Amino acid sequence: MLKTLRIKDYAIIENLEIDFSPGLNILTGSTGTGKSILIGALSLVLGEKADSDLIRTGASQSMVEAIFEVNKKSPLFFFLQNESLFSEENSLIVRREISRKAGSKNFVNDKTVSLSTLKSVGDFLVDLHGQHQHQSLLDHKKHIDFLDNFGNYTNLLNSVRKTWLDLKGKNEELKNLKEQEKIAQDKRELYSFQLAEIEKTNLQVGEEAKLVQEKSVLENVEKISKSVGTILDNLQESEDSVLRRLAIAQKELNSATSWDKSLKEQQELLENSYIQIKELTRHFDNYKDKLEYDPEKLNQIRERMDLLIKLKKKYGKSPEELIAYAEEIKKSLNLLENRSEVMERLEKEITKAKEVLKENCLKLSTARKKKALELQKRISQELTFLGMEKTRFEIQMNYQEDENGLIQLDKKKYKVDEKGLDQIEFRISPNIGEELKPLAKIASGGEISRVMLALKSALAEADNVSTLIFDEIDSGIGGEVAHKVGKKLKELSKSHQVLAITHLQQIASVADQHYQVFKEVKGERTLTKIKKLSREERVAEIARMLSGKKVTQLAEKQASQLLEEALD
């Protein structure tokens, strides 16, 4: 529900804020006061095209902000969650700023959004009917949604959507497999050669570092042997060796410890040092014994390292990376071997899924045909009630041929999507003898508003858009038809918030809230203003609508009577 509309520096509006209420909100005013400017501003914040020429003279930018109350169980609420535009409050704030220099900026709950996102949000919030483009009724792609909302066959819709998504997923999987197969087939020979070459080398993790170490030892055996001999000589073999000196120190410390027990810890440390150095000399003895120059092994190591260098240059990978690459190639080759079996299985599943989808689509189509006749009849009755008895309204259903269609009927392929096979379009013929044509091509603003009023009346309980705006709904009508339009708007306002601009007293009199749009001269500038009318002010405004600028006592009496009748 639209709670508040704020407009700043737009056309001849300087600064305006208006609060709306549930039920039927009627806007009236003399011709040229700016009623349609208000609707234009609202359509702007709902995502329609912006025009910098509408920025008020002397201002650098315009701003339009609308505050809506959102039901947390509505489709809009889930859309906002998915788009990360959710607010903990029940209120939703949408804002549009138009600058002469910077173009247009769009905001939802103070977060910058694209125009398409703003328009999507607007589609959930408001249906606007009249001489503006924000009209779902003129978009034939949405006609199927109107019918489905009326139809109440949710289970069939869900079945079609589920099977269509399942089929779509399988088709995409098969397509990817075929593309991968083509790539893999092209590379099969290369992969096989590379795998054989890598596996032939029998690469080992950490091998390169180990070879470098072994090569260094074999190339320096003589130097290492000399260094180890010197170490052993200093540790144990010379008369002045470390072990001999430690043995002397150990003997003296043992004597000292027998006299002073506090040296026990140091005695143990010295003893451990002696044992560790003894172990060290034993290690070097063994090491020296095993140290041997092996020219044949050194040559093998050099050849192996040369091979690794060539592989690294060829593939641009280390031995460890080559091992991992070989595993990837194996998987690719195995997948290639198994792909035919997988594709064959998928093709069988797709054939079966197409049959299930076709069956579900035909069931849905049958249900739609039945409900289309019901809705068509109900809308025709509503149009007759609204003074359009000569108007023919028809819901056309057909299937669209498509050479790439997923469903085949009588040797022809047809387009299908998550909503099924049916292509739905509302058509109208306002006058006897004229052929049925799309709404956008034949209906005037007033006719569109009354057709939408008829449609919304038929769909009142199932409609998800809570706010309806009718501009020029009284175009070309009067008398008893005007009373009926007013009555129908009043009925509709029980399930929706309704805003309507009217020039007719019959419609204005049934308002729950009545607003007057007027012009006011400020300095040398003319500004559009709006105010909510009291009971007395409503009498005066409706009297003006009855008699013109010169309000008579008779007009006031008639206005008061209309308001009294509206309460009955």
**Tens of pLDDT, residues 331-357:** 877 777 777 788 888 999 999 999 999
Percentage, residues of the chain above pLDDT 70: 96
Amino acid at 80: L
Tokens of 198: 């890598």
In this predicted model, what pLDDT tens digit does every residue of 67-114 receive, in sequence order?
998 887 778 888 888 888 877 777 899 999 999 888 889 999 989 999
Checking if the pLDDT of 241 tops 50, the result is yes
Which ranges in the chain are annotated with CATH 3.40.50.300?
1-143+445-533
Single out the residue of 455, 403, 396 nearest to residue 423, CA to CA.
Answer: 396
In this predicted model, what pLDDT tens digit does every residue of 140-155 receive, in sequence order?
888 898 899 888 899 9
Q: Of how many residues is the chain composed?
A: 568
Which one is predicted more confidently, 359 or 292? 359
Name residue 91's beta-bridge partners.
69
Q: 539: which residues sit within 8 A by CB, 6+ positions away? A: 556, 559, 560, 563
Average pLDDT, the chain: 87
Q: In this structure, are residues 129 and 471 in contact, taking their beta carbons and an 8 Å threshold?
A: yes
What pLDDT sits at residue 227? 92
What's the rounded Cα separation, in Å, for the pair 74 and 88?
Answer: 15
Q: In this structure, are residues 117 and 95 in contact, taking their beta carbons and an 8 Å threshold?
A: no
What pLDDT sits at residue 339? 75
What pLDDT sits at residue 456? 79
Kindly state the average pLDDT of the residues 32-47. 87
Q: 260: which residues sit within 8 A by CB, 6+ positions away? A: none
Tokens of 24: 């039927």
Q: 166: which residues sit within 8 A by CB, 6+ positions away? A: 353
Checking if the pLDDT of 547 tops 80, the result is yes
Kindly state the average pLDDT of the residues 211-222. 89
Single out the residue of 48, 140, 146 nearest to residue 98, CA to CA.
Answer: 48
Which one is predicted more confidently, 439 or 56? 56
Checking if the pLDDT of 522 tops 50, the result is yes
What pLDDT sits at residue 355? 93
What pLDDT sits at residue 443? 56
Reported confidence tier of residue 461, pLDDT bands at 50, 70, 90 = low
What's the rounded Cα separation, in Å, for the pair 201 and 205?
Answer: 12
Neighbours of 124 (CB within 10 A): 21
Of 32-41, 86-95, 152-161, 231-240, where does the model show the most confidence? 152-161
DSSP strand pairing (513-522 vs 24-28): parallel
59 vs 14, 101, 232, CA distance in Å? 9, 12, 97
What pLDDT sits at residue 334? 78
Kindly state the average pLDDT of the residues 491-505. 90
Kindly state the average pLDDT of the residues 500-513. 91
What pLDDT sits at residue 132? 47
Reported confidence tier of residue 552, pLDDT bands at 50, 70, 90 = confident
pTM: 0.63
What would the CATH number be for the domain defined by 1-143+445-533?
3.40.50.300
Checking if the pLDDT of 133 tops 70, the result is no
What pLDDT sits at residue 142? 84
Reported confidence tier of residue 12, pLDDT bands at 50, 70, 90 = confident
What pLDDT sits at residue 195? 87
Tokens of 342: 């997988």
Checking if the pLDDT of 511 tops 90, the result is yes
Lowest-confidence segment of 109-113, 291-295, 458-462 by average pLDDT: 458-462
Q: 229: which residues sit within 8 A by CB, 6+ positions away? A: 288
Q: Is 415 exposed, middle or buried (0-12, 13-18, 19+ CB in 10 A)?
A: middle
